[in-house]
Chains A and B, each alone.
Chain A
Amino acid sequence: MAKVSVIIPVYNAEKYLAECLDSITRQTLKDIEIICISDGSTDQSSDILQKYQERDSRILLIQRENRGYGYTMNEGIARASGEYIGIVEADDYAALNMYEELYQKAKEYDLDFVKADFYRFKREQSGSMELAYNHLSPDPSDYNQVFNPGENPETLRYIMNTWSGIYKRSFLEKYHIQHNETPGASFQDNGFWFQTFIYGKRGMIVDRPYYRNRRDNPDSSVKSKEKVYCINAEYDYIRGILLKDPALWERFRHMYWFKKYHNYMGTLWRIDEKYREEYLMRFSEELKRGIALGDLVREPFSCNAWNNIRSITEDPGKYYLTRVYPAGMNQKVFEQMQALETENRKLKEEIASIRRSKTFRLGKILLFLPGKLKRMLRGRKR
């Protein structure tokens, strides 16, 4: 049995694939299995994969029609035979000592999973590289010790990603931890990540960065505009899993909403401007429902976030105009709107005061008969 099975789901990644494969085939941990699945790629990805497979017998290559990221990951995990499982996106790469050191930690502490800090990177045209260190947790004391995520919902605050760590295969199998098999790339890593935390008994985070996550790929799903409600559907999937066991739902529902709120906020800004108003309206309805059921509560949120939630639920239309509507326009439009509203209110009051006045009432009484006569005459003419 290989020590680690590294799964690489590939969809049209010809530009980055070689760098990725080089970083995995040259890992210092030699006893690994590399499962590459080309999920219906239409570019040169398949040729590149084949070339690497010819050179490295540890590579298992699967090529087939497109079935989506979730299905592809599930297939990879099902085909894996290693003791632990790692995930690498085809446009990212890993430090050469990543799996050796993570595997060592995992064995030493008998972990269900171990995750490490990581870098996000952008590569400029000039070739220079911008690296940003990402801490899974802002609190240094969270690191390098075994924790029980299933009993500490607070650990869901750690940055969500599935690729900066490794997972014990028998652990994934025991709890049937799978990705949601929705089409394309639809944030299916969220559901997988959630499950590793709610079912895990022994987890660890490590304060050393191994994984390099690309942030300059325009094809990357984070920047796609059309699939507006993918994240909502993914959170429905997660809720379905939690609700299978009422005790799990009870324990995690507040943190579920915490993660969901922040993900939805991110989506609001990621989707195309023309979808934002509609998205915000649905967001507001979901928040209100969460509050009514007691699932969404104040406690996990920062002051800013909670104020924001209150603004969105109390008046989503106003929130849209003042906070979301295309920048530059918003403040001006809002001020105009308010001025018109004030004027409107004044005029309405004036009408009401006229109607209340004695002169108006007297006039109405005096004109009643002549008016009636006029209407009768008009009726006769017709």
Chain B
Amino acid sequence: MMDRFKCMYASREEKMMDRPKVSVIVPVYNAQSHLRQCLDSITGQTLSEIEILCVDDGSTDSSAQILEEYKGRDPRLHVIRQENAGAGAARNRGLAEASGEYLSFLDADDFFEPDMLECAYERAVSGNAQIVVFRSDQYHTEEGVFRDMPWTLRSHALAPYRPMDCRTFTDNVFKVFVGWAWDKLFEREFVLKHGLRFQEQRTSNDLLFVFLAIVLAERIETEERVLAHQRRGAASSLSNTREKSWQCFYEALKALRENLIRLGRYQELEQDYINYALHFSLWNLDTLQGEKKKELRRMLKKHWFRELGIAGKKEDYFYNKKEYRQYREIVRGRLPWLYLSVAGGIVD
């Protein structure tokens, strides 16, 4: 009996000691060209008490071999295989297996500062934070240059005191940070407590997870140093082929609204939500290539603007008047207004 107790005690203690500080979750799908650089920059992190969970989302290139090779070299790296189900499902799978204090969701084509995790983890611990957001930039592969992304962390809207939650933000809660997961650290216990999960769809699958976390967190910390580099112009990047999943952003926005209502937070956040929904719809429309653009425009005009709550709101309601004008243009059609403004110009 005593032995068993001792044994239990020992194993619990051992577990506590073994518990990684950060679980890094990387969904991998046909990422052979940049996977090595990504894994090198994770395994070489100065914070060594981490686990690396690579979820191979049914890759058909040499990604699987590369993962095996790294697994053989680094005992902290684990490979989980699943049939192709998208990055959202892969991240959920990693989340289910993770045991770290904090979670980091990275993408297989990005790369990171060697002390990214150490720096972010320190921030997290010192502020007992549920989320840490750090600054990042873009790396343009073809030109080989880095570009700033000031909009991923709008410092002017942050509280200069603690605790900082989203209610202390002085700008749209959904625009202070970006709705992607890789420039953030999430406390695992916090994620589990609120049952946060990624949407299992091809693109925009992290928006719901990230924004719900931001709305729910009581303590958010930020780091002004650039710690991660997002690769742009990589052939494997999903955002290059968004025409295959052009409705995903709408599903994400819809789910966000439903969840805010469920949490009793919608009334408080409605104006921010609607402004963000318009912003994100327009961004998707502007950046979508190919034939689907027309269809998206039609769907927004006929259904989605209404379903997202944008339709029927007055100009005063919108923080960004340019976006509002663009919305009016889509709803009313461009031509009559063009004539009017030309006529106005002649009169002037």
Question: Which of these, A236, A243, A282, A289, contacts B268 with CB under 8 Å?
Answer: A243
Question: Which of these, B157, B163, B170, B319, contacts A233 with CB under 8 Å?
Answer: B163
| Residue in chain B with minimal CB distance to A240 | B167
Q: Are B319 and A292 in contact (CB under 8 A)?
A: yes
Q: List, in ascending order, chain A residues with CB within 8 A of B162's CB.
A: 233
Q: Which residues 276-316 of A sit at the B interface, judged by CB distance below 8 A?
A: 278, 282, 285-286, 288-289, 292-293
Q: List, in ascending order, chain B residues with CB within 8 A of A360's CB.
A: none
Does B161 lie at the interface of the complex (its beta carbon under 8 Å from any beta carbon of A)? yes
Does B271 lie at the interface of the complex (its beta carbon under 8 Å from any beta carbon of A)? yes
Q: List, in ascending order, chain A residues with CB within 8 A of B161's CB.
A: 228-229, 232-233
Cα–Cα distance between A243 and B168 once the two chains are bound (Å): 13
Q: List, in ascending order, chain B residues with CB within 8 A of A289's CB.
A: 169-171
Count of chain B residues with Cβ under 8 Å from any Cβ of A?
18
Does B126 lie at the interface of the complex (its beta carbon under 8 Å from any beta carbon of A)? no
| Residue in chain B with minimal CB distance to A250 | B267
A243-B268, A246-B267, A292-B319 known; A282-B159 Cβ under 8 A? yes
A229-B161, A233-B161 known; A285-B156 Cβ under 8 A? yes
Secondary structure at chain A's binding surface: helix, strand, loop or mixed?
Answer: helix
Write out, one digit per residue, whether chain A residues 251-282 have a CB within 8 A of any chain B CB (1) or not (0): 00000000000000000000000000010001
A229-B161, A282-B160 known; A236-B167 Cβ under 8 A? yes
Of B156, B160, B167, chain A has the most CB atoms within 10 Å of the CB of B160
Chain A nearest Cβ from B266, distance in angstroms: 10
Count of chain A residues with Cβ under 8 Å from any Cβ of B?
18
Q: List, in ascending order, chain A residues with CB within 8 A of B319's CB.
A: 292
Q: Are B163 and A285 in contact (CB under 8 A)?
A: no
Does A239 lie at the interface of the complex (its beta carbon under 8 Å from any beta carbon of B)? yes
Does A171 lie at the interface of the complex (its beta carbon under 8 Å from any beta carbon of B)? no
Chain B nearest Cβ from A224, distance in angstroms: 15
Q: Are B170 and A286 in contact (CB under 8 A)?
A: yes
Chain B nearest Cβ from A349, distance in angstroms: 24
Cα–Cα distance between A357 and B170 once the two chains are bound (Å): 47
| Residue in chain A with minimal CB distance to B271 | A293
| Residue in chain B with minimal CB distance to A294 | B271
Q: Which residues 219-257 of A sit at the B interface, judged by CB distance below 8 A?
A: 228-229, 232-233, 236, 239-240, 243, 246, 249
Chain A nearest Cβ from B157, distance in angstroms: 7
| Residue in chain A with minimal CB distance to B164 | A236
Question: Which of these, A229, A239, A282, A292, contacts B167 with CB under 8 Å?
Answer: A239
Q: List, in ascending order, chain B residues with CB within 8 A of A243's CB.
A: 167, 268
Chain A nearest Cβ from B263, distance in angstroms: 12
Q: List, in ascending order, chain B residues with CB within 8 A of A228's CB.
A: 161
Q: Are B157 and A285 in contact (CB under 8 A)?
A: yes
Q: List, in ascending order, chain A residues with CB within 8 A of B156's CB.
A: 285
Q: List, in ascending order, chain B residues with CB within 8 A of A288's CB.
A: 170
Cα–Cα distance between A293 and B162 once the two chains are bound (Å): 23
| Residue in chain B with minimal CB distance to A236 | B168
Chain B nearest Cβ from A201, distance in angstroms: 24
A236-B167, A236-B168 known; A246-B268 Cβ under 8 A? yes
Q: Which residues 165-184 of B sit at the A interface, judged by CB distance below 8 A?
A: 165, 167-171
Q: List, in ascending order, chain B residues with CB within 8 A of A293's CB.
A: 271
Q: List, in ascending order, chain B residues with CB within 8 A of A239's CB.
A: 167
Q: List, in ascending order, chain B residues with CB within 8 A of A249's CB.
A: 268
A236-B168, A239-B167 known; A278-B268 Cβ under 8 A? no
Chain B nearest Cβ from A216, distance in angstroms: 29
| Residue in chain A with minimal CB distance to B161 | A229
| Residue in chain B with minimal CB distance to A247 | B267
Chain A nearest Cβ from B303, distance in angstroms: 28
Cα–Cα distance between A282 and B170 once the two chains are bound (Å): 9
Cα–Cα distance between A334 and B209 once the two chains are bound (Å): 49
Cα–Cα distance between A286 and B171 once the two chains are bound (Å): 9
Q: List, in ascending order, chain B residues with CB within 8 A of A232's CB.
A: 159, 161, 168
Q: List, in ascending order, chain A residues with CB within 8 A of B264's CB.
A: 246
Chain A nearest Cβ from B261, distance in angstroms: 12
| Residue in chain A with minimal CB distance to B171 | A289
| Residue in chain A with minimal CB distance to B267 | A246
Question: Which of these, B165, B170, B267, contacts A285 with CB under 8 Å?
Answer: B170
Write out, one digit per residue, whether chain B residues 134-178 have a CB within 8 A of any chain A CB (1) or not (0): 000000000000000000000011011111010111110000000
Cα–Cα distance between A55 and B264 once the two chains are bound (Å): 54
| Residue in chain A with minimal CB distance to B272 | A293
Cα–Cα distance between A340 and B168 once the two chains are bound (Å): 38
Cα–Cα distance between A228 and B159 once the two chains are bound (Å): 12
Write out, one digit per residue, whether chain A residues 38-77 have a CB within 8 A of any chain B CB (1) or not (0): 0000000000000000000000000000000000000000
| Residue in chain B with minimal CB distance to A231 | B161
Chain B nearest Cβ from A52, distance in angstroms: 38
Q: Are A229 and B170 in contact (CB under 8 A)?
A: no
Write out, one digit per residue, whether chain B residues 306-330 have a CB within 8 A of any chain A CB (1) or not (0): 0000000000000100000000000
Cα–Cα distance between A243 and B165 once the two chains are bound (Å): 14
Enumerate the 6 nearest inter-chain pairs by beta-carbon distance, A residue then B residue, closest first.
A229-B161, A285-B170, A289-B170, A246-B267, A282-B160, A286-B170
Interface residues of A (CB under 8 A from B): 228-229, 232-233, 236, 239-240, 243, 246, 249, 278, 282, 285-286, 288-289, 292-293
Known: A243-B167, A282-B160. 13 other contacts (CB 8 A): A229-B161, A232-B159, A232-B168, A233-B161, A236-B167, A243-B268, A246-B267, A249-B268, A282-B159, A285-B156, A289-B170, A292-B271, A293-B271
Interface residues of B (CB under 8 A from A): 156-157, 159-163, 165, 167-171, 264, 267-268, 271, 319
| A–B complex contacts, Cβ < 8 Å, 6 sampled | A229-B161, A233-B163, A236-B165, A236-B167, A246-B268, A285-B156
